[in-house]
Amino acid sequence: MKYLKKFNEELKSSTYTSAANKLNYRHPVRSKALTDFSTIRLKEEELESERLKLEAEKLRNDKKYTEWKENIKRYSPFGLFNFTLTPKNGESFTDSFYLMVTHWYDGDEDIKNNTDIFLNLSYFLIPKDDEGSEKLSKFDWDYDDGITKHIWRGWLKIHLNEYDCNVEKLELDGTDNYDGRIEITDRSTALKFKRLMMGIFTSKEYPDYIGSEYPSLYNRLEGTLAESGISSDYGLEMSQIANYINTITVNSLYKTN
Protein backbone atom coordinates (compact mmCIF):
# COMPACT_ATOMS: atom_id res chain seq x y z
CA MET A 1 0.00 0.00 0.00
CA LYS A 2 2.84 2.40 0.68
CA TYR A 3 3.65 2.31 -3.07
CA LEU A 4 0.21 3.61 -4.07
CA LYS A 5 1.30 7.25 -4.21
CA LYS A 6 -1.20 8.27 -6.89
CA PHE A 7 -4.12 6.79 -8.76
CA ASN A 8 -2.69 7.07 -12.27
CA GLU A 9 -0.05 4.39 -11.72
CA GLU A 10 -0.20 1.47 -14.21
CA LEU A 11 -1.08 -1.22 -11.67
CA LYS A 12 -3.60 -4.04 -11.95
CA SER A 13 -7.11 -3.34 -10.73
CA SER A 14 -6.73 -6.23 -8.28
CA THR A 15 -3.86 -4.34 -6.61
CA TYR A 16 -6.14 -1.39 -5.83
CA THR A 17 -8.95 -3.70 -4.69
CA SER A 18 -6.61 -5.49 -2.28
CA ALA A 19 -5.38 -2.19 -0.88
CA ALA A 20 -8.94 -0.90 -0.49
CA ASN A 21 -9.94 -3.98 1.49
CA LYS A 22 -7.04 -3.50 3.89
CA LEU A 23 -7.89 0.19 4.41
CA ASN A 24 -11.63 -0.30 4.77
CA TYR A 25 -11.74 -0.47 8.59
CA ARG A 26 -9.52 2.49 9.58
CA HIS A 27 -9.61 4.63 6.40
CA PRO A 28 -13.04 4.20 4.75
CA VAL A 29 -12.72 7.33 2.58
CA ARG A 30 -9.36 6.28 1.22
CA SER A 31 -10.68 2.74 0.81
CA LYS A 32 -13.69 3.93 -1.23
CA ALA A 33 -11.46 6.05 -3.46
CA LEU A 34 -9.28 3.04 -4.16
CA THR A 35 -12.31 0.85 -4.80
CA ASP A 36 -13.74 3.37 -7.28
CA PHE A 37 -10.42 3.65 -9.07
CA SER A 38 -10.12 -0.13 -9.10
CA THR A 39 -13.43 -0.27 -10.97
CA ILE A 40 -12.13 2.21 -13.53
CA ARG A 41 -8.89 0.26 -13.97
CA LEU A 42 -10.83 -2.98 -14.41
CA LYS A 43 -12.89 -1.44 -17.20
CA GLU A 44 -9.71 -0.16 -18.84
CA GLU A 45 -8.17 -3.63 -18.62
CA GLU A 46 -11.25 -5.20 -20.20
CA LEU A 47 -11.17 -2.68 -23.04
CA GLU A 48 -7.45 -3.24 -23.58
CA SER A 49 -7.93 -7.00 -23.55
CA GLU A 50 -10.68 -6.71 -26.15
CA ARG A 51 -8.52 -4.41 -28.28
CA LEU A 52 -5.66 -6.91 -28.20
CA LYS A 53 -8.01 -9.76 -29.14
CA LEU A 54 -9.36 -7.80 -32.11
CA GLU A 55 -5.86 -6.89 -33.19
CA ALA A 56 -4.73 -10.52 -32.96
CA GLU A 57 -7.80 -11.64 -34.91
CA LYS A 58 -7.08 -9.08 -37.60
CA LEU A 59 -3.52 -10.36 -37.92
CA ARG A 60 -4.81 -13.93 -38.18
CA ASN A 61 -7.37 -12.92 -40.78
CA ASP A 62 -4.75 -11.02 -42.76
CA LYS A 63 -2.57 -14.14 -42.77
CA LYS A 64 -5.50 -16.34 -43.82
CA TYR A 65 -6.40 -13.90 -46.58
CA THR A 66 -2.82 -13.78 -47.85
CA GLU A 67 -2.50 -17.58 -47.84
CA TRP A 68 -5.85 -17.87 -49.62
CA LYS A 69 -4.66 -15.59 -52.43
CA GLU A 70 -1.37 -17.49 -52.61
CA ASN A 71 -3.26 -20.78 -52.86
CA ILE A 72 -5.40 -19.41 -55.69
CA LYS A 73 -2.23 -18.45 -57.54
CA ARG A 74 -0.71 -21.91 -56.95
CA TYR A 75 -3.71 -24.07 -57.79
CA SER A 76 -5.77 -22.05 -60.30
CA PRO A 77 -3.68 -23.33 -63.27
CA PHE A 78 -5.29 -26.75 -62.67
CA GLY A 79 -8.79 -25.43 -63.19
CA LEU A 80 -12.06 -25.15 -61.29
CA PHE A 81 -13.99 -28.14 -59.93
CA ASN A 82 -17.74 -28.18 -59.32
CA PHE A 83 -18.82 -29.50 -55.92
CA THR A 84 -22.22 -29.87 -54.28
CA LEU A 85 -22.19 -29.39 -50.51
CA THR A 86 -25.08 -30.60 -48.38
CA PRO A 87 -24.97 -29.89 -44.63
CA LYS A 88 -27.10 -32.05 -42.35
CA ASN A 89 -29.09 -29.02 -41.25
CA GLY A 90 -29.26 -26.64 -44.18
CA GLU A 91 -29.73 -26.24 -47.90
CA SER A 92 -27.25 -27.72 -50.33
CA PHE A 93 -25.42 -25.51 -52.79
CA THR A 94 -23.19 -26.02 -55.80
CA ASP A 95 -20.19 -23.87 -56.61
CA SER A 96 -16.83 -23.99 -58.36
CA PHE A 97 -13.62 -24.25 -56.36
CA TYR A 98 -9.95 -24.75 -56.89
CA LEU A 99 -8.64 -27.96 -55.39
CA MET A 100 -5.59 -28.49 -53.19
CA VAL A 101 -4.39 -32.07 -52.69
CA THR A 102 -1.86 -32.91 -49.97
CA HIS A 103 -0.18 -36.04 -48.63
CA TRP A 104 1.32 -36.96 -45.28
CA TYR A 105 3.42 -39.88 -44.09
CA ASP A 106 4.15 -40.44 -40.40
CA GLY A 107 6.67 -43.23 -40.88
CA ASP A 108 4.98 -45.47 -38.29
CA GLU A 109 3.84 -48.20 -40.65
CA ASP A 110 6.08 -51.26 -40.78
CA ILE A 111 5.55 -52.64 -44.27
CA LYS A 112 7.20 -55.94 -43.41
CA ASN A 113 4.40 -56.71 -40.92
CA ASN A 114 1.50 -55.53 -43.08
CA THR A 115 -0.18 -56.84 -46.18
CA ASP A 116 -1.88 -53.53 -46.99
CA ILE A 117 -0.33 -50.06 -47.02
CA PHE A 118 -2.20 -46.79 -47.51
CA LEU A 119 -0.95 -43.63 -49.17
CA ASN A 120 -2.84 -40.92 -47.28
CA LEU A 121 -4.32 -37.95 -49.14
CA SER A 122 -6.24 -34.86 -48.07
CA TYR A 123 -8.36 -32.63 -50.28
CA PHE A 124 -9.14 -28.96 -49.68
CA LEU A 125 -11.61 -26.56 -51.28
CA ILE A 126 -10.19 -23.19 -52.25
CA PRO A 127 -12.98 -20.66 -52.91
CA LYS A 128 -12.44 -18.73 -56.11
CA ASP A 129 -13.80 -15.44 -54.77
CA ASP A 130 -15.22 -13.67 -51.71
CA GLU A 131 -18.72 -14.96 -52.44
CA GLY A 132 -17.54 -18.58 -52.37
CA SER A 133 -15.61 -17.93 -49.18
CA GLU A 134 -18.73 -16.47 -47.57
CA LYS A 135 -20.75 -19.58 -48.52
CA LEU A 136 -18.20 -21.90 -46.91
CA SER A 137 -17.99 -19.81 -43.74
CA LYS A 138 -21.68 -20.39 -42.97
CA PHE A 139 -21.21 -24.10 -42.37
CA ASP A 140 -19.75 -25.86 -39.33
CA TRP A 141 -16.45 -27.32 -40.47
CA ASP A 142 -14.69 -29.58 -37.96
CA TYR A 143 -11.38 -28.88 -39.64
CA ASP A 144 -10.75 -25.29 -40.67
CA ASP A 145 -7.53 -24.21 -42.33
CA GLY A 146 -8.27 -20.51 -42.66
CA ILE A 147 -10.30 -19.72 -45.77
CA THR A 148 -9.30 -22.99 -47.43
CA LYS A 149 -11.56 -25.83 -46.19
CA HIS A 150 -10.68 -29.48 -45.70
CA ILE A 151 -13.26 -31.67 -47.45
CA TRP A 152 -11.94 -35.23 -47.76
CA ARG A 153 -9.37 -37.52 -46.28
CA GLY A 154 -8.68 -40.21 -48.85
CA TRP A 155 -6.11 -42.88 -49.50
CA LEU A 156 -4.68 -45.25 -52.08
CA LYS A 157 -4.66 -48.86 -50.93
CA ILE A 158 -1.57 -50.87 -51.90
CA HIS A 159 -1.57 -54.63 -51.38
CA LEU A 160 1.84 -56.16 -50.69
CA ASN A 161 2.69 -59.59 -52.06
CA GLU A 162 5.82 -61.58 -51.26
CA TYR A 163 8.01 -59.89 -53.85
CA ASP A 164 5.84 -57.25 -55.46
CA CYS A 165 2.67 -55.23 -54.88
CA ASN A 166 -0.38 -53.88 -56.65
CA VAL A 167 -2.57 -50.80 -56.24
CA GLU A 168 -6.10 -51.88 -55.37
CA LYS A 169 -8.27 -48.90 -54.51
CA LEU A 170 -8.62 -45.12 -54.43
CA GLU A 171 -10.92 -44.21 -51.52
CA LEU A 172 -12.56 -40.79 -51.10
CA ASP A 173 -14.34 -40.26 -47.80
CA GLY A 174 -16.81 -37.47 -48.55
CA THR A 175 -18.10 -37.31 -44.97
CA ASP A 176 -14.79 -37.19 -43.13
CA ASN A 177 -14.41 -34.17 -40.83
CA TYR A 178 -17.55 -32.54 -42.18
CA ASP A 179 -21.10 -32.57 -40.89
CA GLY A 180 -22.77 -33.40 -44.19
CA ARG A 181 -21.87 -34.51 -47.73
CA ILE A 182 -19.45 -33.16 -50.31
CA GLU A 183 -19.84 -34.56 -53.81
CA ILE A 184 -18.36 -33.98 -57.22
CA THR A 185 -21.26 -32.42 -59.11
CA ASP A 186 -20.94 -33.57 -62.71
CA ARG A 187 -19.18 -35.87 -65.14
CA SER A 188 -16.90 -33.18 -66.57
CA THR A 189 -15.59 -32.38 -63.06
CA ALA A 190 -15.15 -36.08 -62.31
CA LEU A 191 -13.12 -36.49 -65.51
CA LYS A 192 -11.04 -33.42 -64.63
CA PHE A 193 -10.48 -34.83 -61.13
CA LYS A 194 -9.36 -38.18 -62.54
CA ARG A 195 -6.91 -36.46 -64.90
CA LEU A 196 -5.61 -34.32 -62.05
CA MET A 197 -4.91 -37.40 -59.92
CA MET A 198 -3.13 -39.10 -62.81
CA GLY A 199 -1.08 -35.96 -63.39
CA ILE A 200 -0.01 -35.83 -59.74
CA PHE A 201 1.66 -39.25 -60.18
CA THR A 202 3.17 -38.53 -63.60
CA SER A 203 4.50 -34.96 -63.50
CA LYS A 204 6.07 -32.50 -61.10
CA GLU A 205 3.85 -29.57 -62.09
CA TYR A 206 1.31 -29.90 -59.27
CA PRO A 207 2.76 -28.02 -56.25
CA ASP A 208 2.96 -29.23 -52.69
CA TYR A 209 1.32 -27.09 -50.01
CA ILE A 210 2.63 -23.67 -48.92
CA GLY A 211 5.65 -24.01 -46.64
CA SER A 212 6.46 -27.55 -47.72
CA GLU A 213 10.07 -28.59 -48.21
CA TYR A 214 9.01 -30.40 -51.41
CA PRO A 215 8.62 -28.45 -54.66
CA SER A 216 5.83 -30.71 -55.89
CA LEU A 217 3.34 -33.26 -54.59
CA TYR A 218 5.00 -35.78 -56.93
CA ASN A 219 8.27 -35.35 -55.02
CA ARG A 220 6.56 -35.77 -51.66
CA LEU A 221 4.75 -38.97 -52.69
CA GLU A 222 7.88 -40.34 -54.33
CA GLY A 223 9.73 -39.62 -51.08
CA THR A 224 7.17 -41.66 -49.12
CA LEU A 225 7.55 -44.63 -51.50
CA ALA A 226 11.32 -44.47 -51.00
CA GLU A 227 11.30 -43.90 -47.23
CA SER A 228 8.76 -46.66 -46.58
CA GLY A 229 10.64 -49.14 -48.76
CA ILE A 230 7.67 -49.75 -51.05
CA SER A 231 9.59 -48.66 -54.14
CA SER A 232 12.86 -50.44 -53.32
CA ASP A 233 11.53 -53.62 -51.69
CA TYR A 234 8.41 -54.12 -53.80
CA GLY A 235 9.25 -52.28 -57.01
CA LEU A 236 6.30 -49.88 -56.95
CA GLU A 237 6.74 -46.93 -59.30
CA MET A 238 4.74 -43.71 -59.50
CA SER A 239 3.64 -44.56 -63.03
CA GLN A 240 1.99 -47.77 -61.76
CA ILE A 241 -0.26 -45.71 -59.47
CA ALA A 242 -1.14 -43.42 -62.37
CA ASN A 243 -1.97 -46.45 -64.51
CA TYR A 244 -4.30 -47.75 -61.80
CA ILE A 245 -6.09 -44.39 -61.52
CA ASN A 246 -6.56 -44.49 -65.29
CA THR A 247 -8.63 -47.67 -64.87
CA ILE A 248 -11.12 -46.00 -62.51
CA THR A 249 -14.46 -45.30 -64.19
CA VAL A 250 -15.48 -41.66 -64.23
CA ASN A 251 -19.03 -42.55 -63.13
CA SER A 252 -17.71 -43.95 -59.85
CA LEU A 253 -16.30 -40.54 -58.90
CA TYR A 254 -19.56 -38.60 -58.80
CA LYS A 255 -23.23 -39.03 -58.03
CA THR A 256 -25.01 -39.76 -61.28
CA ASN A 257 -28.62 -39.55 -60.07
**Is the pLDDT score of 243 beyond 90?**
yes
User: Does one domain contain both 190 and 228?
Assistant: yes
* Measured CA distances, 157 to 80, 153, 167, 181, 244 (Å): 27, 13, 6, 23, 11
Is 103 inside any structural domain? yes
Crossing angle, helix 217-228 and helix 238-247, to 10 degrees? 110
User: Does one domain contain both 100 and 213?
Assistant: yes
Is 24 inside any structural domain? yes
pLDDT by residue (tens digit) across 32-82? 666 766 677 677 777 666 766 655 565 556 788 888 899 999 999 999 999
User: Does one domain contain both 108 and 177?
Assistant: yes
Percent over 90 (pLDDT), the chain: 33
Is 18 inside any structural domain? yes
Instruction: Place 112 in a pLDDT band, splitting at 50, 70 and 90.
Output: low
User: Does one domain contain both 31 and 98?
Assistant: no
User: Does one domain contain both 34 and 136?
Assistant: no
Contact by Cβ (8 Å): 84, 92: yes
Out of 77-91, 109-123, 209-223, give the one with best mean pLDDT.
209-223
Nearest to 106 by CA among 155, 53, 162, 149: 155
Could you tell me the residue range of the domain that residue 229 belongs to? 79-253
User: Does one domain contain both 55 and 84?
Assistant: no
User: Does one domain contain both 64 and 182?
Assistant: no
Mean pLDDT of 110-130: 82
User: Does one domain contain both 165 and 94?
Assistant: yes
Amino acid at 112: K
Least confident of 106-120, 136-150, 231-245: 136-150
User: Does one domain contain both 114 and 189?
Assistant: yes
What pLDDT sits at residue 215? 93
User: Does one domain contain both 48 and 83?
Assistant: no
What pLDDT sits at residue 210? 87
Is 6 inside any structural domain? no
Count of the separate structural domains present in the chain: 2
